[in-house]
Amino acid sequence: DMFKLQTMGHSNMSSEKRPGDKVEESLRRLLGEADVVVVNGGNPDFGKYVFTVFAADIMKLVTSRVAGGSLVFMGQSAGSMIGAADVGLTYEPNPALLKDLLHGQTAGMGFAGRCAIRPHDSAELWDLASAVYGQIRNLTVVRVANGQGLQCIGANCSLVGKSVGAHQSVFSGPAGRLEVERLASAFEP
């Protein structure tokens, strides 16, 4: 059974072709003809599992088309995290997904370069975690408030929309960068 094999560490069982699989053929046709793929919210670990493990072969078509500019990827909430570089900045309540199905791998689909998205950013809840996580993982953490979005066209990305509750990090400027480096060093092996 595919699920059992994946939980035991076999990384991609979606490559096993089933002759005449009408559902897979239909999905490939739809993804080949689509102009936009929209991925909604939910649990980023589960979404990452579906997109990068369970249906990895089918998602190669999406990755190729997004990279080639013939398909727009639009993620909302967890969907934005999955489309970005990393899904690690979440507190979803089921660590078994990350541990058993993803084997600790948090890499997203990479459509926003080295940017990891932290959606629903407000107040100071994600300030310290985002700063340290970005430093340790060598990522730019983009904290996106409700009402905002990260728009990437080619290699150019910018926040768009109206900010609702966003704030500047207490770790800004040269002194802030030194503070983050110091905090991140505490987590190094």
Any idea which residue has 């995290």 for tokens? 81
Six-digit token pair at 45? 């670990």
pTM over 0.85: no
Any idea which residue has 């400027």 for tokens? 173
Distance CA(151)–CA(19), nearest Å, equals: 39
Task: For residue 153, give the 3-state DSSP assignment.
Answer: strand
CB neighbourhood size of 148 (10 A)? 19
CB 13 within 8 A of CB 5: yes
pLDDT tens track of the chain, all 189 residues? Answer: 455 555 555 555 454 555 567 888 899 999 999 999 999 999 999 999 999 999 999 999 999 999 999 999 999 999 999 999 999 998 877 788 888 889 999 999 999 999 999 999 876 778 888 999 999 999 999 999 888 999 998 888 999 998 765 567 777 777 777 888 888 888 776
